[in-house]
Structure 1
């Protein structure tokens, strides 16, 4: 038996490490949750309607957890409820200009972190990792994982 974790264990250790960065009650954690829910709404915009249930499913949360995140992101100005064009009784959720700015800043930060973590890698190694991660993500989405 080897002491080295397999690739699956390493992948989930990586996911757990980054998932913990957005926990807690501080401003950084609140901003991280704002990015998460705003990104979810943006992704779901291609598959309307975007409501609490759809956001909850995208984030892997229960409805009340997603509702709190949406409420907080709306209060911060990142999201806005709008009356559904199909059903005036239903509200859908959209990303605001401030939400787009938040996501742009988050994406710049993500690219900066990646560049720093891989500063001694070749461009080919960076591209290979990006391509491999994209394949894993696409496969996980198709499998419904």
Structure 2
């Protein structure tokens, strides 16, 4: 089989789908920040800095995304109970609805992309992606500061 290696294919796939959303770029950014807040759920407080780390952005970039999503009603920002200088972030009802719609769209895309696959193939890909995600934090923690070198 010729073409890009599996690593290149993985990153091409991620880039391709990270830019797709059925309602445009603004909606995609809202979904992205809502997903980050959702991923951090269960913490006593979710700060803008934690959202920035989850998104892989600097604090100012995340702050802009949070502000935009707040203006649109998807997030609520309040002063921290522990430290009034910090802001905490949570999903609103509209934000949870946005995520439900996004997740339904994601499932529909997966179903459409794999509609001619056997159920076992779909399940295998699903499990393989989950395995990649479970190993991702370990790998990305070790990549901080690493440079890409030429072979």
- TM norm structure 2: 0.85
Determine the structure 2 residue equivalent to 1:85: 81
Determine the structure 1 residue equivalent to 2:6: 7
Determine the structure 2 residue equivalent to 1:100: 96
Quote the Cα distance in structure 1 between the aligned partners of 2:92 and 2:131.
30
Quote the Cα distance in structure 2 between the aligned partners of 1:5 and 1:132.
19
Determine the structure 1 residue equivalent to 2:107: 111
**Secondary structure of the equivalent of 1:144?**
helix
**CA apart distance, 1:28:** 1.2
Determine the structure 1 residue equivalent to 2:64: 68
**CA apart distance, 1:37:** 0.1
Quote the Cα distance in structure 2 between the aligned partners of 1:83 and 1:43.
20
**CA apart distance, 1:130:** 0.5
Quote the Cα distance in structure 2 between the aligned partners of 1:94 and 1:135.
28
**CA apart distance, 1:62:** 1.3
Gaps of 5+ in 2: 142-151
Quote the Cα distance in structure 1 between the aligned partners of 2:59 and 2:84.
21
Quote the Cα distance in structure 1 between the aligned partners of 2:53 and 2:100.
24
- TM norm structure 1: 0.89
Cα-to-partner distance string for 1:49-106 (whole Å, 9 max, x where unaligned): 3112111111011111111100000000000012323234432100000000000000
Runs of 4+ in 1 over 4 A off after TM superposition: none
**CA apart distance, 1:3:** 4.1
Cα-to-partner distance string for 1:18-68 (whole Å, 9 max, x where unaligned): 12326xxxx611001000001101111223431121111110111111111
**CA apart distance, 1:129:** 0.3
Determine the structure 1 residue equivalent to 2:36: 40
Quote the Cα distance in structure 2 between the aligned partners of 1:13 and 1:48.
36
Count how many residue pairs are aligned between Structure 1 and Structure 2. Answer: 140
Indicate conservation of the 8 Å contact 2:48/2:87, yes or no.
no
Quote the Cα distance in structure 1 between the aligned partners of 2:131 and 2:44.
25
